[in-house]
Amino acid sequence: MEKTPRGTSVGVDDPYAFAGVCDHLTSDGKCRYAFDYYQHDPEFARERAEADYVCVVADAEGDCTGCSGANEPTSDVSDGIDELNASDHGDGSDASQPSPWAACPHFRSRTTERECARCGLEERRLGQVPDESIISGERPLLEEHHLSYARDGETVGHEITIYLCRWCHAKVHNSWARITDDVAPDPEALAEREGRRSLEQSELGFETAADRASRSNEER
């Protein structure tokens, strides 16, 4: 499995299998990175500008309808991928080819789905509650988990993230747990989520002044 810079497992063999479309991709198949951050990589920006800022995964006509599935290995890839294979495998004859997104040095995919990618636990964040002491030291149910890290140098690294609940996150880093394991949410995770749901319902409950006065009299 892939590992973090600290040597712990990230829980997957191929981070690209979990990547969505590039964060810099516009709805019409353009590369926003080359336009907005040209000063970070002038050569890349010039190349994209000459191609009317079309994403490197898009086809020659600028059609990026296939970008949503670009994380899947394919034999019909760009020249950049062919060159990458040639350098990695000598003659490029290896049938296993990387994701087309790997051809772009600035690909980034950070998920926005607010549920655990391993057990399916959904996030439930608390707003204001009647008793703030109840949530002192509150931590989110979900935490961002890196499958791949951005890095510079000879080996290009792409930032790819998903969300894991705190319990699955710990299991992935501290054991051989995999993101693809067929598991249900941890009982402790379910209990904490339900506790937050109860507090949320209490917060949203409406009580009139008359109701409060009546309840106060009854308590006396």
147-161 pLDDT tens trace: 987 665 445 578 999
Are residues 193 and 176 both part of a single domain?
A: yes
Are residues 56 and 142 both part of a single domain?
A: no
Task: Give the lowest-confidence range in 11-15, 66-70, 137-141, 176-180.
Answer: 66-70
Handedness of CA 153, 40, 82, 5 (dihedral sign): positive
Are residues 24 and 102 both part of a single domain?
A: yes
> What are the structure tokens assigned to 49, written together?
């500008």
In a domain, 2, yes or no: no
Q: Is the pLDDT of residue 180 over 80?
A: yes
205 or 135: which leads in pLDDT: 205
207 or 36: which leads in pLDDT: 36
pLDDT in tens, 72-95: 544 333 343 344 334 333 433 343
In a domain, 56, yes or no: yes
How, if at all, do strands 159-165 and 108-110 pair?
Answer: parallel
Task: Give the lowest-confidence range in 15-19, 132-136, 176-180.
Answer: 132-136
Burial of 47 (0-12, 13-18, 19+ CB in 10 A): middle
212 or 104: which leads in pLDDT: 104
User: In angstroms, how far is the first alpha carbon of the chain from the final one?
Assistant: 64
Specify the number of domains making up the chain.
2
> What are the structure tokens assigned to 175, written together?
């054991």
Are residues 25 and 120 both part of a single domain?
A: no
pLDDT (average), residues 50-62: 79
* pLDDT value of residue 103: 79
Q: Is the pLDDT of residue 105 over 50?
A: yes
* CA torsion, ordered 76, 29, 44, 56, to nearest 10 deg: 0
In a domain, 194, yes or no: yes
Are residues 69 and 115 both part of a single domain?
A: no
Which position has the token pair 């350098």?
A: 87
* pLDDT value of residue 205: 64
Query: What is the domain range of residue 216?
Result: 108-124+137-220
Distance CA 31, CA 76 (A): 21
In a domain, 100, yes or no: yes
* pLDDT value of residue 49: 95
Question: What average pLDDT is seen over the chain?
Answer: 75
Are residues 85 and 113 both part of a single domain?
A: no
Q: Is the pLDDT of residue 44 over 90?
A: yes
- Closest by CA to 168, choosing from 153, 182, 150, is 182
Are residues 50 and 120 both part of a single domain?
A: no
